[in-house]
Structure 1
């Protein structure tokens, strides 16, 4: 196999190549004076081509680089082409919320497949079901739960892992199991008279606990900050915020720390000051599993 790295790999391509013991090749890239992007595959792949690139801002540029690279490899490769996209942008627009809207993630996935993609590995996709709905090639969505739990082992004495809502419970459960902790999800309640919003765990008490709130994406940080304030107000010993994808816009980090969050931790799918956990081991395991499916 040959692992190809685009600039937006953020170091994950190199780690994956080392995990798998494969060759690493850097794609050539430039931007023309009018802003158009250009990529080139400098050498022919040996066996399966594994293309690694995340899609953090600017998302449109990253998407085009990925798309052009798949097309270039499809004319070059004799084996399969697998894309590893640690952060798949546009994934939150996974249905038509309003009439006239596109299903953006469908357009992204269908475009990659149409240009010759043989398989896809993503990390902590917002709605993993879209892979089955919009791709006909093999795909795997990996959760870096083991790596996240490993970061906190020995750093928290009485942990409780919380999901921000019921839909994210599986993520919290997976982290909690690796950490040997209890888990729950948060529910939101609005006072009909005052309009005040309260957020609290569905079943478990947080008093005296080192609470770890786990989500897939932190964007503006508003939801996480509100959850932290409420959990601390209920007697939690400390609160740590964890996400896979640290998009962090509109002063998100300031909001989180001002809310009383002790530490913010993210993976390296998106480069950020809080990216302390690598998804490379999870990606390597996912790649091995995908390759077994494709045999």
Structure 2
């Protein structure tokens, strides 16, 4: 049998419990594609149940493709008594029977090798993002929200032929006003592109946009991989002067315009090669 696309049957029982069923038996490698955006708990459980069903049903490996991997930001114990949430998620996927995992732009990629013993792949959609931006910005500077995310800004900047820098917060000692501005580059007269992995509340980018425009930036574009966008985030960004907010389609939203399919396909091929 050749490649086959199958939609998993899902329903919710009157007591709220979830039911899933794979309607046909895969003849080879089974690939489950499921993003775990809000409501995260329900989507995670659906994914785990589907992986478990396939692990005892499929004739080959079961690979989970999770474009947005929930709970990835809780990757260590920030305070005593906290769980490492992403560890729980990854261990649960492995325990359910996943033979491999592909995710897109995980907050801290090290968690995959740290907590999984199965093959894994973290896909970075820089080419997809750069393809969307190319030709839309002029004399651009690509900014990371902090030094830790500078590599993301560098990769996108190199692909579109732009400069790159990262943002730092500064507080005026007299007025107490907080400003977010590039560490070293000038933005006057330039198109600014702020690139991040996740936009949730949008507060940091909104503050950065106001500061950049106050410093003479021609425009500000906010780009992210995962548009989680809590209520009011998008309005906040536009109100702060951001010209365009754009994201990949790992999470459905009004601004999810960039397909990660090309990067996911390439990553999946590499993962399958690693598993042979």
User: Same fold judged by TM-score > 0.5?
Assistant: yes
TM-score by length of 2: 0.97
After TM superposition, give the deviation of residue 209 of structure 1 in Å: 0.8
After TM superposition, give the deviation of residue 192 of structure 1 in Å: 3.4
After TM superposition, give the deviation of residue 170 of structure 1 in Å: 1.1
**Paired residue for 2:161?**
180
Query: How many Å separate the matches in 1 of 2:233 and 2:269?
Result: 35
Structure 2 unmatched runs, 5+: none
Alignment RMSD = 1.2
TM-score by length of 1: 0.91
**Paired residue for 2:232?**
251
After TM superposition, give the deviation of residue 260 of structure 1 in Å: 0.3
Query: How many Å separate the matches in 1 of 2:176 and 2:255?
Result: 34
> Residues 103-129 of structure 1: CA distance to partner in whole angstroms, max 9, x if unpaired?
110000001101211111101111111
**Paired residue for 1:83?**
64
Q: What secondary structure, in the 3-state scheme, does the structure 1 residue paired with 2:42 have?
A: helix
Matched, 1:211 2:209: no
**Paired residue for 1:13?**
none
Query: How many Å separate the matches in 1 of 2:247 and 2:212?
Result: 20
Query: How many Å separate the matches in 2 of 1:173 and 1:247?
Result: 23
> Residues 42-62 of structure 1: CA distance to partner in whole angstroms, max 9, x if unpaired?
111121111000001100000
> Residues 5-44 of structure 1: CA distance to partner in whole angstroms, max 9, x if unpaired?
xxxxxxxxxxxxxxxxx32111111111111111111111
Q: What secondary structure, in the 3-state scheme, does the structure 1 residue paired with 2:19 have?
A: strand
* Runs of 4+ more than 3 Å apart: none
**Paired residue for 2:139?**
158
After TM superposition, give the deviation of residue 99 of structure 1 in Å: 1.0
Corresponding pairs, count? 276
> Residues 63-121 of structure 1: CA distance to partner in whole angstroms, max 9, x if unpaired?
00000001000101121111000000111111111111111100000011012111111
**Paired residue for 1:16?**
none
Pick aligned residue for 2:148 from 158, 161, 167: 167
Matched, 1:269 2:246: no
Q: What secondary structure, in the 3-state scheme, does the structure 1 residue paired with 2:57 have?
A: coil
> Residues 201-255 of structure 1: CA distance to partner in whole angstroms, max 9, x if unpaired?
1121111111110001111111110011111111111000001111111300110
Equivalent positions of 1:40-119 (< 5 A) are 40-119=21-100
